[in-house]
Structure formats: structure tokens, C-alpha cells
């Protein structure tokens, strides 16, 4: 990109004072600069005015007064901003993706590349975006257009990422609602095999399903010699307490000893696949809409719309509940899990280091992807939320606090997950890795089955899915607010008056777009979008952010902007923005095929375990749907 193309949009931090002695805002300076013609003398005078910096502190004070006295909404308190940012960064991925990525990449040793990715890539970009939003008091599109007209595509791409995220993320919240409602039933429906959605392949739990699929269930493997004693032992081993209503009876014992059923599935898996999803044969078959999923999708969309109806005036208050409740529920689940037999087995598996993984490139790539997933860097939401701050807010301190809290929550959540999975492994006398899964397989198959083993499972099930629901809400609040803020910034006086109606229209549009995810083949589309939107586009956006600020706009100008807001420059970030961060991101982006190739695009169980009994059919890497997603998410760049 040629820096000369940005000269007519010169940095907004050196404006001349107006007649009242106050410096115009950054946006006003930007608009004023557009009015200059290419007349040499006039342009020279304008450049000279920008190069003179008689008193930067006076400019900072007048800019602060201007921004704080404007019509733009402000956070009710600094606490609201921090809670909103933490709520945005701590999402469902912290619970269902991080623990699995961690154990797949060396357990405790994964924290080394993970936190290095935060320090060298995520924190610099987090701080950069927060600074831009706070300084220019605008949404992503207008911020990048103000820095350089040619970089407007970065803002457009951020909005496209938010639209695509809002497109599929709502159905994830809807699935959590479906499970939360079913948690009131007794017995829990995902523990039953005699329901309308079950097939003849249903068995009470995943351990028995796995044994049947491999042909390892036999009379000789169960203690005792008589039929009655064998019957009792089998029911005890497989946690089946009602011998009169189960599919297994004494006359079936001999048949069971020779049983091999490659299609055997646990009750929790069948509930997920055939009741919640009503899953089709593949991505090509999207026919049919399960009414309960569509209803949950509508309710989730309605709750999100109500939370952001009046912008941060409503969402800033809602986060006092939605941002804090997950920590309470997660702590309760962790305490309960820590008291269960076998909890230490799960924890040891979670944190046991495998240092050989540090020598594998995919470990470092997946660490970077996980950081971008969880902190929401390059989505534009950080710019949007910071634009409602006061001009003098210490955005560096806030960036460090949010990054630390958000990523420590990922580690903390892993303990809550693996204590319960360790207990499940203890019950069935199986290795913990048998139940270590990612994504829907963990949240909607394994963990619900593990919860069913606890006393008062309805209570624990409700806590878990309520936690997922609130985690999803916070992230979706900020994603949708980014889109709405950029729309409002197009014509603030007009759209501000109609903010509630505008929110309703946008959320209605998102609801209609999301309906395909509720279809019987929607989960295939969900997993494609979940991987291919974040894996490629957000890292490319991060690279371009560093290039524009570091080399086009210039870190010298940017450091002076920081000095205006924070009172001093942060020179260490110059090195990061110009060299370290873009170089690392470029290296990781060039090897993303490795990580995406390891993506678990199957629903359950993972690829290695379903050679003969796939429960889903993930397209190959050249599937048109995947190529289309990459083009749509990055075309605005």
C-alpha cells in the first residue's frame, strides 16, 4: 500500500485550535482535510500546520473536552466497560475448545506458546484496537477510513466477520437453551433409550456403546459365573438400575456375549443427533426445520435484541449479570467436580506436560488461533467498545487486565471440565482421553452424560447449560453492537433516534439468516463456519492492522496519539506493531493449513474412532462450501 495515497487524510492528532480555543475532534479534522484541493501552496500550508506541535498536552485536553461533551454515548462507569470486554472475550470457546486444544498439544506445556501468543500478538493488537476506538470515537469502518482511505476494507472486513459470527453463533446459544429446558425433566432425556428419537442401536452410555462397537462385551469380562450374578454385574458396571425396563434381560446374556454392533451409540449421542439436531445425512441435505430449535433460536435472538436495544445504555447494565454469573456457575461446578472420585485423574491428564509438542509447528499455530478465537482480536468489537470510553481512559491497563482475566478463565474452565470427565473415567474404569473431546461433542454429548452420573443431575445440568447460555450472550452482545455502531455512525442524529427499531430490523435479519443452522443439516454448516471464518480471515486482518498503523499511518504519529491520551508514549509497542507481531502472524498464517487440517469437523466421535461408523460426513478441504466461506469473509479486504 502506498503511503502517499493517505496524505490527504493526515493524522488527526495535530489540529489547529478553532475560534473558541478548542481543537476540533479527530473526525472533524479528517473531514476538514478532505476539503483541501491539490493546490500546492494551500497543501503546503496545511502540512506545515500539521507539523507544528506547540503544546501537545493542550491539544489532548481540548480533544478530551470535545469528545466527552459530544453526543456519543458513554459507559455509565468504567466497571461496565471492563465487564463488557471480559464478557466478550470469555465465550463458549473458552469452555468447549480450549481444554481439548490444550491436551492435544502437550497439556500444561501448551501454556508456553499460548501465553507467548498473547504477549507478542494478541495484547499488542488488543491495545492497538482499543487505542484507535478510544482516540477516534468511531466504529471500525470509520476508524480505518480516518487512518487511510485505502484501509477502509479492514473495517468492512471486520463488519463482515461480525455478521458471519452473529450468523452462526446465535444457534449455539439456542442449543444451550434446548438443553437447559430439558434439564427440568426427570429422568434426563439424554439418559434414555426408549424414546421416540432413539434407534435400535441405542445403549445407555458411551462406555457400553464403545464396548459393543469393538465386540469387547462378554460374559467372561464380567465378574461372576451364574446368569443372575452376571446380570447384576453388568447393570452395576454400566450404571443401569432398572432391570425391568431396560433393553437387556437375562435371556439376552448369551447373545450379548457374542454381540458386535459397530453402529452402537450412547443415549446422550442419540439425543443430540436425533432429537436436538434431527440430523440429516450430510451438508447437501438441509431439508426440514426442527420446531424446538427454531423456537430456541427465536428466543435467543429476542434476548440478544433486548440486551442491545439501546446500545450500551442497556448492555452496560445487563453485563452485571451475564458477565459475572458464568464465573459463579463455573466455580460451583469446579467445587463439585473436585469432590468427586477420580477428579485428580482428570486434572493430571489435563496438565501433564508433553514437551515434545513444542517442536511441532501446529502447536504454535493452534495456540495463535485459540488466542484470536477467545480474545476477539480483529473482529472490530474492541474498537467499538473502546469508542464509548472517555478520551483519557487508561486503555493499556484495561487491555492487560482483560487479556489476563480472559485467558486465565480458559485455564480455569479446563479444571471444571476435566474434574467431571475424570470422575466419568473413574466410574467406567477408562482412560480420561476416551472422553476428551472438543466443540459440540464435549458440550452436548460427553459432559451431559457425565452430569447424569452426579446426584441431582437436573440441577447440575441446568447450571452448566445456563452458564453456556450467558457466555454466549455476552459475546453476541458485542458482536452485534459492532454492526449497529457502524450503521449509527453513518448518520448519528437520524439513527440514534430510531435505535430500538434499527436493532429490531438488524436482529430480525440475523434471525432469518440463521435459520439454515437450525435445519436438519445445519450443524455441518455450523462447523465449517466455526473453523474457516476465524482460522484464516481474522489473522489476515491482524497482519493488515499492523501494516497500516506501523508503516502507513506511522508509529511516530501513533505514539503521539498515545501521549495525548495516556500522558506518555509506549515505545515497546512500536517494535511489536512494526516487526514482531506482523512477522509472527504471517508465519502462522502461511501454515494455517496444518491446523485447519487437524480441525475436528466431525460431530461425534472423532475421526480416528469412526472409520466404520461415521455419525457425520465432513467435506474435504476443497469443498465449495469451504472455499465460499473464505471468499465471503475476506473479499472486503
Q: What is the pLDDT of residues 120-136, one digit of tens each?
A: 999 999 999 999 999 99
What is the rounded distance in angstroms from the CA atom of residue 517 to the CA atom of residue 505? 20
Give 486's pLDDT tier (boundaries 50, 70, 90): very high
Strand 265-266 and strand 202-203: pairing? parallel
Would you say 236 is a known binding-site residue? no
Instruction: Provide mean pLDDT across the span 532-558.
Output: 87
Question: What is the percent of the chain where pLDDT is above 90?
Answer: 43
Would you say 374 is a known binding-site residue? yes
Q: State which fold the 71-188+271-608+615-634 domain adopts.
A: Amino acid/polyamine transporter I (1.20.1740)
Count the alpha carbons within 13 Å of 214 in the hemisphere toward its beta carbon.
Answer: 9
Q: Which of 570, 620, 563, 566 is closest to 597 using CA atoms?
A: 620
CB 209 within 8 A of CB 265: yes
What residues pair up with 266 in beta bridges, in sequence order? 203
In tens, the pLDDT along 73-101 reads 899 999 999 999 999 999 988 888 898 88
Would you say 117 is a known binding-site residue? no
Q: Which residue has the cell 476465524?
A: 534
- DSSP string for residues in 476-544: HHHHHHHHHHHHHHHSHHHHHHTHHHHHHHHHHHHHHHHHHHHSTTHHHHHHHHHHHHHHHHHHHHHHH
Q: Where in the chain is the domain with CATH 1.20.1740?
A: 71-188+271-608+615-634
CB 280 within 8 A of CB 287: yes
Give 446's pLDDT tier (boundaries 50, 70, 90): confident
Q: What per-residue confidence (pLDDT) applies to 95? A: 87
Q: What per-residue confidence (pLDDT) applies to 537? A: 81
Q: What per-residue confidence (pLDDT) applies to 539? A: 86
Would you say 90 is a known binding-site residue? yes
What is the rounded distance in angstroms from the CA atom of residue 522 to the CA atom of residue 532? 16
What is the rounded distance in angstroms from the CA atom of residue 529 to the CA atom of residue 5? 35
Which DSSP symbol is given to 15?
P
Would you say 474 is a known binding-site residue? yes
What is the rounded distance in angstroms from the CA atom of residue 191 to the CA atom of residue 198? 11
CB 308 within 8 A of CB 483: no
More confident residue, 430 or 19: 430
Cell of 502: 434499527
Q: Which residue has the cell 486444544?
A: 101
pTM exceeds 0.75: yes
Output b/e per residue, 371-386; b: 16+ Cβ within 10 A. bbbbbbbbbbbbbbbb
What residues pair up with 202 in beta bridges, in sequence order? 265
Q: Is the model's pLDDT at 253 over the cut of 70?
A: no
What is the rounded distance in angstroms from the CA atom of residue 73 to the CA atom of residue 120? 33
Which DSSP symbol is given to 608?
G
CB 424 within 8 A of CB 356: no
Q: What per-residue confidence (pLDDT) applies to 630? A: 61
What is the rounded distance in angstroms from the CA atom of residue 29 to the CA atom of residue 32? 5
Cell of 53: 506541535
Q: What per-residue confidence (pLDDT) applies to 80? A: 95
Would you say 475 is a known binding-site residue? yes
Would you say 471 is a known binding-site residue? yes
Residue 572's contacts (CB-CB under 8 Å, 6 or more residues apart) are none
More confident residue, 236 or 391: 391
Give 164's pLDDT tier (boundaries 50, 70, 90): confident
Neighbouring CB atoms inside 10 A of 61's CB total: 16
CA separation (Å) from 29 to 33, 339, 548, 554, 581? 6, 61, 19, 18, 30
| Through-space distance between the first and last CA atoms of the chain, rounded to whole angstroms | 12
Q: Which of 326, 301, 532, 341 is closest to 422 using CA atoms?
A: 341
Amino acid at each position: 500500500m502506498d503511503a502517499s495515497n493517505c496524505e490527504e487524510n493526515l493524522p488527526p492528532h495535530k489540529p489547529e485550535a478553532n475560534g473558541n480555543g478548542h481543537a476540533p475532534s479527530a473526525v472533524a479534522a479528517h473531514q476538514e482535510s478532505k476539503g483541501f484541493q491539490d493546490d500546492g501552496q494551500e497543501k503546503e500550508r496545511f502540512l506545515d500546520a500539521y507539523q507544528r506541535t506547540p503544546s501537545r498536552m493542550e491539544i489532548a485536553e481540548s480533544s478530551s473536552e470535545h469528545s466527552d461533551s459530544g453526543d456519543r454515548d458513554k459507559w455509565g462507569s468504567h466497571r461496565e466497560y471492563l465487564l463488557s470486554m471480559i464478557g466478550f472475550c470469555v465465550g463458549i470457546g473458552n469452555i468447549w475448545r480450549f481444554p481439548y486444544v490444550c491436551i492435544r498439544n502437550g497439556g500444561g506445556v501448551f501454556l508456553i506458546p499460548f501465553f507467548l501468543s498473547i504477549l507478542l500478538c494478541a495484547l499488542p493488537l488488543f491495545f492497538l484496537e482499543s487505542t484507535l476506538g478510544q482516540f477516534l470515537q468511531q466504529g471500525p469502518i470509520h476508524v480505518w477510513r480516518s487512518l487511510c482511505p485505502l484501509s477502509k476494507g479492514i473495517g468492512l472486513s471486520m463488519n463482515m466477520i461480525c455478521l458471519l459470527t452473529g450468523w452462526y453463533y446465535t444457534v449455539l446459544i439456542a442449543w444451550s437453551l434446548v438443553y437447559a429446558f430439558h434439564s427440568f425433566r426427570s429422568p434426563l432425556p439424554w439418559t434414555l433409550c426408549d424414546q421416540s428419537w432413539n434407534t435400535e442401536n441405542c445403549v445407555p452410555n458411551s462406555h457400553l456403546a464403545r464396548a459393543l462397537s469393538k465386540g469387547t462385551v462378554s460374559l467372561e469380562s464380567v465378574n461372576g459365573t451364574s446368569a443372575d450374578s452376571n446380570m447384576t454385574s453388568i447393570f452395576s458396571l454400566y450404571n443401569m438400575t432398572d432391570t425391568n425396563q431396560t433393553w437387556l434381560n437375562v435371556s439376552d446374556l448369551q447373545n450379548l456375549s457374542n454381540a458386535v454392533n459397530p453402529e452402537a451409540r450412547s443415549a446422550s449421542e442419540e439425543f443430540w443427533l436425533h432429537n436436538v439436531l434431527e440430523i440429516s445425512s450430510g451438508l447437501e441435505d438441509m431439508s426440514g426445520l426442527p420446531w424446538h430449535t427454531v423456537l430456541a433460536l427465536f428466543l435467543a435472538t429476542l434476548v440478544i435484541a433486548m440486551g442491545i436495544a439501546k446500545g450500551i445504555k442497556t448492555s452496560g447494565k445487563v453485563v452485571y449479570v451475564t458477565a459475572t454469573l458464568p464465573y459463579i456457575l463455573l466455580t460451583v461446578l469446579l467445587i463439585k467436580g473436585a469432590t468427586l472420585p477420580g477428579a485428580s485423574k482428570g486434572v493430571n491428564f489435563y496438565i501433564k506436560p508433553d514437551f515434545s509438542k513444542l517442536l511441532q509447528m501446529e502447536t504454535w499455530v493452534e495456540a495463535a488461533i485459540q488466542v484470536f478465537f477467545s480474545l476477539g482480536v480483529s473482529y472490530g468489537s474492541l474498537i467499538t467498545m473502546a469508542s464509548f470510553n472517555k478520551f483519557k481512559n487508561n486503555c493499556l491497563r484495561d487491555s492487560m487486565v482483560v487479556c489476563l482475566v480472559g485467558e486465565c478463565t480458559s485455564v480455569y474452565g479446563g479444571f471444571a471440565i476435566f474434574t467431571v470427565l475424570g470422575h466419568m473415567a473413574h466410574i467406567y474404569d477408562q482412560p480420561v482421553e476416551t472422553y476428551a473431546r472438543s466443540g459440540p461433542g464435549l458440550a452436548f454429548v460427553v459432559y451431559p452424560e457425565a452430569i447424569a452420573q452426579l446426584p441431582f443431575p437436573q440441577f447440575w445440568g441446568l447450571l452448566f447449560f445456563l452458564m453456556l447460555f450467558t457466555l454466549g450472550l455476552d459475546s453476541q452482545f458485542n458482536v452485534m453492537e459492532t454492526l449497529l455502531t457502524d450503521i449509527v455512525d453513518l448518520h448519528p442524529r437520524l439513527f440514534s433516534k430510531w435505535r430500538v427499531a434499527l436493532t429490531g430490523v438488524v436482529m430480525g435479519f440475523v434471525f432469518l439468516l440463521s435459520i439454515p443452522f437450525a435445519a436438519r443439516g445445519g450443524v455441518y454448516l455450523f462447523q465449517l463456519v466455526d473453523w474457516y471464518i476465524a482460522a484464516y480471515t481474522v489473522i489476515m486482518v491482524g497482519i493488515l492492522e499492523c501494516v497500516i498503523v506501523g508503516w502507513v499511518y506511522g508509529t511516530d504519529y501513533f505514539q503521539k496519539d498515545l501521549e495525548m491520551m495516556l500522558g506518555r508514549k509506549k515505545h515497546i509497542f512500536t517494535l511489536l506493531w512494526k516487526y514482531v507481531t506482523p512477522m509472527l502472524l504471517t508465519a502462522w498464517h502461511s501454515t494455517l493449513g496444518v491446523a485447519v487440517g487437524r480441525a475436528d469437523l466431525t460431530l461425534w466421535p472423532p475421526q480416528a474412532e469412526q472409520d466404520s461408523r461415521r455419525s457425520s460426513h465432513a467435506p474435504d478441504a476443497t469443498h465449495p462450501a469451504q472455499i465460499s466461506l473464505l471468499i465471503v469473509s475476506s473479499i472486503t479486504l
